[in-house]
Structure 1
Amino acid sequence: MSGPAVAAHRAVDAWRSLRPRPGVPEGVELLARRPHSTIYRLTGVGRDGAPVIAKLSPSSTATIERAVYQEVLARVPVSAPRFYGLVAEGDGQDWLFVEDVGTERFSPESPAHRTLAAQWLGRLHATAAPLAATTRLPDRGPGHYLRHLRTGRRMIVDHLHDPTLSADDREVLLGVRRQCDLLESVWDEVERICADVPPTLVHGDLRPKNVRVRATGRGSALLPIDWETAGWGVPAADLAPSRGLALQSQVDLEVYAARAQEYWPGVDTATLCRLVTVGGLFRRLAAVDWASHGLVHPWPQKSVAQLRVYKDELGQLTRSLGPAAEAASALRPPAAPG
């Protein structure tokens, strides 16, 4: 969008209430329209004429992002997007304005990116931990993910008899329910692994689409974005990959351990590998919860397809918790319908 229509755009109106100068952007570009947020690029209005990202989202998540940018990232020695401010839109929504950090995505397959991410996360987790007492953010400990498990399972059970589902679809849902039941039965092991890990700021959804890499005069900078799932908790989810059956961390664990020693003395790669398994479970439980809400739609097959993938991943990750989980998996009978 360009020309006279730009000045009338809602994002521009919110931006001008925050920064009256330099005035109207050169253009407005729609970048993404998601179920709970809409994202635009405003060109020519940021520092030195750089573009700015305008994100419209529920106030509940926008205020989390503002707290992360203003109260944590601004106080720790890590690279971060420039935060311009938050403007209330009304009807329970807010505009969040941050620097546009480019388009190069973090790649877990790149050794250089894995090292860069390990250094960045290790430094963040070490230096943000002391701020937990003074910054209000949600709890992202094991209890948060147990709630994801229970909410997602409840949605699945409630929709098992949807007449639009095939017999194969129901088998998928029953399989996910069985994996949730199994994991809940060994949740004490999850909590045991997390018990000695000091809480710190966690992003909660670090993956390529939410992390940018930008070249600077001093090398490459890592710039995570979209902090709406952030909070205080063990850093398990930040170390684990967002998808796939592989149990490998998405960062170099030896480099991370060296950086994290400051807040987690004695941490070693064996401990971190166990935490990666737990982080993988955390991320799949959140994904199951999110996908299960799609079962309410008249055509739930897309959600079933997603849950089919998560079922297999949950099974492997749960068995990887150790002998107790393997034994429970062998003994547990198939889930009954309904």
Structure 2
Amino acid sequence: MWATEEFRADLGAFVTAAAGVPERLEVVAHRPWSAVWRVTAAGRSSYAKQNCPGQAHEARLMARLAQVAPDRVVPVLAADGDRDLLLTADLGPTLRERGRTDLATWTRIAVDAADLQRRLVPEARALHLTVLAPVDATTYVANAVGRLAALAPDDPRRLAPEVAVLLEALLPAVERWADQVEDLGLPLTLLHNDLHAENLVLAPDGGLRSFDYGDAVVGDPLASLYVPLAMARRSLDLPADDPLLWRIADAALETWSDLAPLADLRAALPAALQLGRLARVESWRRCVATMTHDERVEFGSAPAVRLASLLDPPPLGGRAALG
């Protein structure tokens, strides 16, 4: 679709209306789930993007985030929610490209994300995103296991029977994780669901600005720490039980400590991180739904792989209580 002349003309008209006639439209990424172009127009650069149908909420969401929290997201130059066409300012290299992935930066990423979540609590449901509430986690897992395990043996999306058995046995534990998180009483809010150093830039004012909200869902705020903690552990080359990971987590938990005791938040975090894996399952499910056969051969196993990761320990080390 994104390679057709018809779409190219449509994209050019969208860019022209917002930034002037483009001198250059360079493909940055062209994947089954989204396409991104670097735009040069009127001597300035920007980025245009469109997502696959299952993730076609980003333009509308980014437009709203730019209104509510312009200090937390990249500037939005234009957004067409009906066509999910988005044009954002080019603020330069990502944090990863800058080599800015030290402990202080990961802590700041976690804290800024929690701050944005807190601001969005009043309108979380109005964002019209997939809602993954802890109370629905067990049903979500059971349905996903049943759906993926029932696929034909040669379907790349299929969940292996032996893994399905293990996940079915895990359902009582999922229920306990959900109960522990639900008992905190935290409100549902936005989960970026792919927050790492490649999706953040440093603005001229020194603030961090996030982008790439195609994977976003609404859910438990602590679940959003799953990706940044896992990526921090990898980039800092830390063992799963390193106290430095807890320093990052604790900084973010402070944002919610007026709603639940910090000790309770810490105790429930491993369970919340396990449930955070479901948001990754969901975003991949949305992407795989409209992939071609060849694309599914390459990427179709992703939902099953993410679902099977429930059997792994949480990113902080140890294991959410199974007993």
Q: TM-score if structure 2 supplies the norm length?
A: 0.73
Bigger drift between 249-258 and 35-44 goes to 249-258
* Matched-pair contact (CA < 8 Å) for 2:192–2:224: yes
SS of 2:84's partner is strand
Structure 1 Cα separation of the partners of residues 304 and 129 of structure 2: 33
Gaps of 5+ in 2: none
Structure 1 Cα separation of the partners of residues 194 and 246 of structure 2: 12
SS of 1:52's partner is strand
2:106 matches 1:114: yes
1:95 maps to 85
2:65 matches 1:76: no
Structure 1 Cα separation of the partners of residues 58 and 287 of structure 2: 23
Q: Structure 1 residues 212 and 296, CA, compared in 2 at 3 Å: closer, same or farther?
A: closer
SS of 1:317's partner is coil
Matches within 5 A, 1:223-242: 223-241=209-227
2:94 maps to 104
Structure 2 Cα separation of the partners of residues 67 and 127 of structure 1: 18
* Matched-pair contact (CA < 8 Å) for 1:203–1:231: yes
1:52 maps to 46
Structure 1 Cα separation of the partners of residues 247 and 71 of structure 2: 16
SS of 2:77's partner is strand
* Matched-pair contact (CA < 8 Å) for 1:114–1:252: yes
SS of 2:201's partner is strand
| Number of positions where the alignment pairs a residue of Structure 1 with one of Structure 2 | 298
Structure 1 Cα separation of the partners of residues 21 and 87 of structure 2: 15
Structure 2 Cα separation of the partners of residues 213 and 305 of structure 1: 31
Q: Structure 1 residues 323 and 79, CA, compared in 2 at 3 Å: closer, same or farther?
A: closer
1:138 maps to amino acid: T
2:132 matches 1:140: yes
Q: Alignment identity in percent? A: 19
* Matched-pair contact (CA < 8 Å) for 1:155–1:293: no
* Matched-pair contact (CA < 8 Å) for 2:133–2:219: yes
**RMSD across aligned C-alpha pairs, in angstroms?**
4.1
2:262 matches 1:267: yes
2:78 maps to amino acid: G
* Matched-pair contact (CA < 8 Å) for 1:56–1:94: yes
Structure 2 Cα separation of the partners of residues 12 and 254 of structure 1: 46
Structure 2 Cα separation of the partners of residues 137 and 207 of structure 1: 21
SS of 1:26's partner is strand
Matches within 5 A, 1:58-69: 58=52, 61-62=55-56, 64-69=57-62
Q: Structure 1 residues 126 and 275, CA, compared in 2 at 3 Å: closer, same or farther?
A: farther
Per-residue deviation at 1:65?
2.0
| Among candidates 153, 159, 163, match of residue 152 of structure 2 | 159
| Among candidates 178, 198, 206, match of residue 191 of structure 1 | 178
Structure 2 Cα separation of the partners of residues 149 and 100 of structure 1: 42
2:201 maps to 213
1:24 maps to 21
Per-residue deviation at 1:67?
3.6
2:160 matches 1:173: yes
* Matched-pair contact (CA < 8 Å) for 2:95–2:101: no
| Among candidates 303, 308, 314, match of residue 310 of structure 2 | 314
Per-residue deviation at 1:294?
11
1:177 maps to amino acid: A
Q: C-alpha deviations, 1:223-260, integer Å up to 9, x for none?
A: 22121232332123320136789477698122112233
| Among candidates 230, 250, 254, match of residue 258 of structure 1 | 254
2:188 maps to amino acid: P
Per-residue deviation at 1:204?
2.1
Gaps of 5+ in 1: 325-338
